Amino acid sequence: MLVKALSGSKKYWGWITVLLALSGAGLACYLWQLQQGLTITGMSRDVSWGLYIGQFTFLVGVAASAVMVVLPYYLHNVKVFGRITILGEFLAVAAIIMCLLFVIVDLGKPMRLFNMIFYPTPNSILFWDMVVLNGYLLLNIIVGWHALEAEYKGVAPPSWTRYLVYISIPWAVSIHTVTAFLYAGLPGRHYWLTAIMAARFLASAFASGPALLILLCYIIKRVSKFDPGREAIQKLAAIVTYATIISVFFVGLELFTAFYSQVPAHGMDSLTYLFVGLEGHGKLVPWMWTFVVLAVLALVLLINPVTRGKDGYLLLACGAVFIAMWIEKGIGLVIGGFVPNAFERVTEYIPTLPEALIALGIWAAGFLILTILYKIAIAVKEETV
């Protein structure tokens, strides 16, 4: 089936070339980082994680959201999702690969990566994150590929893959729970030390992932003969709506706890830094208000059934959800946790150009994988239509 990725239109190859060029630029910057060290990034001893770990965290959510098409189809027999489960699974594969790449580029000593396996340390949440992420990657590759191969041959998928699907459902929840625990278990980081961290992560994941899937469905409809189906998209839109509402509600809960209790140790300082600035530092303020505006816009468009049902508005809303959640989780959450530092001082963080190019390169590599996987899946589906 892989061969299907090798025949495509000029536009297809043009897109592939763009992605390869961006990945190449990222790789070149990464080689420079390997040589110079992480000094070429904007990270510091106070903000010791930045863009890379932020993207990692956000993309774990995108990966986990595959469960939002798999679960309704397999457990609730929502037939319309049958056509797009493969899209969710392949999106998860691409997202997890991006996650792993983002962790690797963040390491000071990437050549020692396997120390995590040589010296397994179960008390470290990072160890468990490695286990669940790699397991989820494997599950989705196996299930997705077998389902597609079966469709290609016009037979039912092997029955044992069904058990892997059932395992993958709680597993999807686990990857984002464990990733939230990376943050929620640290004594000195007030903004992260919240019991609803995992719930927040899951809610924003189930908003941003399906929103991206809707956008991808529209693109697929445009560039191929395969139509994911209006009903499937509308069902996904309903999921995005609920998840966005819950997600914004959770952010509100954090704001209430911090500002009504007035306890600085409940994240008040970090939230102040993020939304209005602290001690004259406010580089993230415009970002956070962009998040607020986009989230409100998305909610207005999604909750109203008339606009949710119209293609143009739905696309706009999904774009807004995706960007809003990316800002909230991929930027605000990670950096906000480091401000103020252990000495109650504010150190700001701005990624450098090479750092941004490395991040962009990984996104490009991820979309390259996604494009190839989707190309194969759609080619198979076009034949069977």
Partner 1 sequence: METSRRNFLKAGGACLLGLSLWPAVRVLAGDGPDVKADAGALKGKRWGLVIDMRKCWPQYQQGCRDCMLACRREHNIPVIDNKDEEVKWLWTEPYKNAFPEQEHAYTPAAIADKPFLVACNHCDNPPCVRVCPTKATFKRPDGIVTMDYHRCLGCRYCMAACPYGARSFNFQDPRPFIKEENLDYPTREKGVVEKCNFCAERLDKGQQPACVEACRVGALIFGDLDDPNSEVRKILAERNTIRRKPELGTHPSIYYLV
What's the min distance (Å) between Cβ of 285 and partner 1?
Answer: 21
**Does 261 interact with partner 1 (rule: CB under 8 A)?**
no
What's the min distance (Å) between Cβ of 76 and partner 1?
Answer: 38
Among 46-54, 196-204, 246-254, 351-359, the segment contacting partner 1 (CB under 8 A) = 46-54
Site for partner 1 in 180-219 (CB under 8 A): 182, 185-189
The correct pick among 49, 58, 73, 206 for binding partner 1 (CB under 8 A) is 49
**Does 338 interact with partner 1 (rule: CB under 8 A)?**
yes
Among 31-39, 234-242, 283-291, 318-326, the segment contacting partner 1 (CB under 8 A) = 31-39
The correct pick among 5, 25, 44, 166 for binding partner 1 (CB under 8 A) is 44
CB closer to partner 1 out of 337 and 361: 337
Residue 9 backbone phi and psi in degrees, to 5: -75, 175
191-197: Cβ within 8 A, 24+ apart: 191/267, 191/270, 191/271, 191/333, 191/336, 191/337, 192/333, 192/337, 193/267, 194/254, 194/257, 194/266, 194/267, 196/250, 196/253, 196/254
**Does 330 interact with partner 1 (rule: CB under 8 A)?**
no
CB closer to partner 1 out of 344 and 382: 344
The correct pick among 91, 101, 130, 220 for binding partner 1 (CB under 8 A) is 130
CA 173 from chain center: how many Å? 13
Among 112-120, 212-220, 242-250, 270-278, the segment contacting partner 1 (CB under 8 A) = 112-120
**Does 347 interact with partner 1 (rule: CB under 8 A)?**
yes
Among 64-72, 113-121, 270-278, 375-383, the segment contacting partner 1 (CB under 8 A) = 113-121
What's the min distance (Å) between Cβ of 196 and partner 1?
Answer: 19
What's the min distance (Å) between Cβ of 29 and partner 1?
Answer: 16
What's the min distance (Å) between Cβ of 85 and partner 1?
Answer: 28
The correct pick among 7, 36, 134, 384 for binding partner 1 (CB under 8 A) is 36
What's the min distance (Å) between Cβ of 341 and partner 1?
Answer: 6
**CA triple 306-309-313, angle to 5 deg:** 85
How crowded is residue 261: how many other Cβ atoms within 10 Å of its Cβ?
12
The correct pick among 2, 3, 108, 306 for binding partner 1 (CB under 8 A) is 108
Q: Which residues bind partner 1 (CB under 8 A)?
A: 36-39, 43-46, 48-49, 103, 106-110, 112-113, 115-116, 118-119, 121, 123-127, 130, 182, 185-189, 337-338, 341-345, 347
